[in-house]
């Protein structure tokens, strides 16, 4: 019987070796999905069994700078001099941008005492605007960090037929809480507590406001 040419035999051997090598290679890992976080259950409300009887409020969506207006969980390394460099966790995300999470938190808390309507509603006596200036985890060392929240709230009288709005006041509310662990999970817990503190402060201040007669 005729024999196969030498170059065909060599090619067959090389293909067999390549096939065996391919079988021994590990399969690529599946992409790791980022863990989702939010602020947990809403603040416990005082007594919401009765209709809210406070001054009607129009609450605009909370605004935020571009650095934190994202679903990324942001941290800063103070101990290496990178306070001005926000860094995102690779495998952790908020379920929605922090400004939206804080808007929900603030609306829920205000609704316990006030009717809360859409921004610039003719039904409101006071317009509330807020800006989230800081919402990040600050590391003072590789093992110690705090969640820091800063919320600037501005209140106006609602526009009237006789004239425009009038400024009732502006206040910057701040809170920080230690993170139980130096990671994204610890940062999320610290930021939840700091947010709840800031929201309580803001609600207490807003409750003192009265529209001009």
> Average pLDDT of the chain?
84
pLDDT digits 0-9 by tens, 41-79:
876 655 555 556 789 999 999 999 998 999 999 999 999
Please name which of 29, 190, 53, 191 lies closest in space to residue 112, comparing C-alpha atoms. Answer: 53
Length of the chain: 213
Q: What pLDDT band is residue 211 in, cutting at 50, 70 and 90? A: confident
Q: Output the pLDDT for position 164.
A: 76
Q: Output the pLDDT for position 118.
A: 84
Q: Output the pLDDT for position 5.
A: 54
| Domain residue limits, the chain | 53-207
Q: Output the pLDDT for position 8.
A: 45
Cβ proximity of 43 and 102 under 8 Å: no
Q: What pLDDT band is residue 213 in, cutting at 50, 70 and 90? A: low
When pLDDT is averaged across residues 144-154 and rounded to a whole number, the result is 98
Which distant-in-sequence residues (6+ apart) come within 8 Å of 153 by Cβ? 128, 129, 130, 170, 171, 172, 173, 202, 205, 206
Q: What pLDDT band is residue 7 in, cutting at 50, 70 and 90? A: very low
Helix axes 98-110, 184-207, angle to 10 degrees: 40
Lowest mean pLDDT among 49-53, 101-105, 189-193: 49-53
Q: Output the pLDDT for position 45.
A: 56
Q: Output the pLDDT for position 48.
A: 52
Please name which of 145, 135, 148, 139 lies closest in space to residue 67, comparing C-alpha atoms. Answer: 135
pLDDT digits 0-9 by tens, 12-45:
555 554 444 444 445 555 556 789 999 998 766 5
Please name which of 56, 93, 89, 83 lies closest in space to residue 148, comparing C-alpha atoms. Answer: 83
When pLDDT is averaged across residues 105-121 and rounded to a whole number, the result is 89
Q: What pLDDT band is residue 177 in, cutting at 50, 70 and 90? A: very high
Please name which of 36, 47, 212, 192 lies closest in space to residue 126, comparing C-alpha atoms. Answer: 212
Q: Above 60 in pLDDT, residue 114?
A: yes
Say yes or no: domain 53-207 is CATH 3.40.50.10610: yes
């Amino acid at each position: 019987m005729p024999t196969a040419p030498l170059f065909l035999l060599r090619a067959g051997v090389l293909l067999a070796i390549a096939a065996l090598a391919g079988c021994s290679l590990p399969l690529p890992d599946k992409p790791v999905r980022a863990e989702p976080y939010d602020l947990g259950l809403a603040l416990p409300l005082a007594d919401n069994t009765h209709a809210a009887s406070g001054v009607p409020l129009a609450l605009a969506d909370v605004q935020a700078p571009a650095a934190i207006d994202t679903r990324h969980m942001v941290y800063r390394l103070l101990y290496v001099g990178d306070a001005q460099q926000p860094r995102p966790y690779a495998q952790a995300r908020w379920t929605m941008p922090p400004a939206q999470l804080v808007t929900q938190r603030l609306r829920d808390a205000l609704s316990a005492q006030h009717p809360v309507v859409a921004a610039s509603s003719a039904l409101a006596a006071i317009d509330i605007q807020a800006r989230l200036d800081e919402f990040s985890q600050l590391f003072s060392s590789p093992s110690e960090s705090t969640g820091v929240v800063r919320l600037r709230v501005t209140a106006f009288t609602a526009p009237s037929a006789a004239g425009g709005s009038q400024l009732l006041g502006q206040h910057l509310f701040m809170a920080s809480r230690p993170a139980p662990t130096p990671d994204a999970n610890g940062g999320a817990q610290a930021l939840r507590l700091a947010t709840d503190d800031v929201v309580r402060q803001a609600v207490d201040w807003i409750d003192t406001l009265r529209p001009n007669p």
